[in-house]
Amino acid sequence: MKKFPWNDECLQHTLQQMPMIKDHRSKEEVYRQLVKARKIAWLKAWFLPSLASVVAAMIVVALSVPSLPMKRESEEKAEKPDQRIITLQAEHRSSESRPLLSANEHDDIPSRIVEKEALNGQDIAVVGLPDEQSQVIIPLSVPVKKYESVKRQLETAKTQIDEQTWGVSKRLLNGVTMEPSRESKQVWIVRVSKQNPVFFEGLTSETMFLSSIEETVRWMGGKKIRFFTENKEGMEFSHRGYVRSMKISNKKRAYYLYQRGPAHPIFLVPSSQRFRTFFEALKQMKKDVDASMRSAIPQGVHIERVDVRQDNVVIRFALDSQLDAFPSTYWMVEAILLTAKEFGFRSVTFMGGNVKRIGPYIFGKKIAVPVGPNPIVAISPAK
């Protein structure tokens, strides 16, 4: 930078050229302004940092003190899980790897099937009931005394099913008796009271009534149903007309996860759609039917191959399948077992997936298809 040779005369001449500035304040007023400015500067230098420190301390105390009882409460809740109700929304995948279901961990997950080995000298009665909204039929398995008559077993089972707890409706089956005929155990006699609401309601009630009867008799081993209105053969419906009998065919259905709402448990329910092959049913089980009927096979699970060996079917999972320790994985195995039963298989063998077992279900070993779905009491799977 260029330097200019300033001397006293140059400075004086420059100052004389600048405009005049006059201060009209008195000496006392100037002094008061100086004192006031100095006091404000002192407050800013001391008060604001002190205030920030106090606020920070209060925030730390507020966050740390309540967290102790909250943590204790959450630990108490974790120690008492609700084993009956696990919602579909409860499955949140973590970025951390999780172990597979071990032989002991599966006890915390309610099974949705009944295996023959788990009956322990009892029998089961399966009752098909509509949900509260009359949208789907839910087959429920109830433990009953083995040597009672089938008619008595079904009556006992209906009384043990609590509608509010399980989210079902029994009103269409009130006063309805079902039992095998004397001529054949495969031909069933169904008697209905004249006062049954199915005679006075619409087509939906008629459909739910017939579907409930059909689902119940199918699980109990019947092949044909004869209807009676009290002692008179046949039933006269308002929309369907006269119905005398019904044949029960093998429908070959797939099973899905169903939940009425967060306050109700999850069930495995059959689809209304029929499938031509078992493999086709498995593919559809990866898709949701609607908001209530959800896919039974998670998207991260891939079935690589299905081999039919007489009455046993072998299912091989791909190595990249995500067979994680979630209830949905556990229920996937049970849904597949129920679906296999629909297609006439007597056992299923699971392979692949880079695992040895899922809960009590050991890979590489034949697993018998269930004797019933959706137990309403805790029936532990056989080990």
**What integer is the mean pLDDT of 36-53?**
54
Ranges of H-type helices in 253-308: 278-284
The band of 49, judged by pLDDT with boundaries at 50, 70 and 90, is low
Span of 27-41, 67-81, 232-246 with lowest mean pLDDT: 67-81
What does the pLDDT read at residue 233? 96
- For residue 304, pLDDT beyond 90: yes
What does the pLDDT read at residue 12? 59
Computed over its alpha carbons, how large is the radius of gyration of the chain? 37
Helix/strand/coil for 127? strand
One-letter amino acid of 38: R
Model confidence, pTM: 0.72
Q: What is the average pLDDT score of the chain? A: 80
What does the pLDDT read at residue 120? 85
What does the pLDDT read at residue 105? 42
- Give every CB contact of residue 318 below 8 A, 6+ residues apart in sequence: 302, 303, 304, 352, 353
Q: Which residue has the tokens 């797939």?
A: 254
The band of 195, judged by pLDDT with boundaries at 50, 70 and 90, is very high
Span 243-287, pLDDT tens digits: 999 999 888 999 999 998 888 889 999 999 999 999 999 999 999
What does the pLDDT read at residue 1? 45
Higher-pLDDT residue of 210, 46:
210
Span of 67-71, 106-110, 153-157, 257-261 with lowest mean pLDDT: 67-71
What does the pLDDT read at residue 109? 81
Percent of the chain with pLDDT over 70: 70
Helix/strand/coil for 306? strand
Strands (E), 55-153: 113-114, 123-130, 137-144
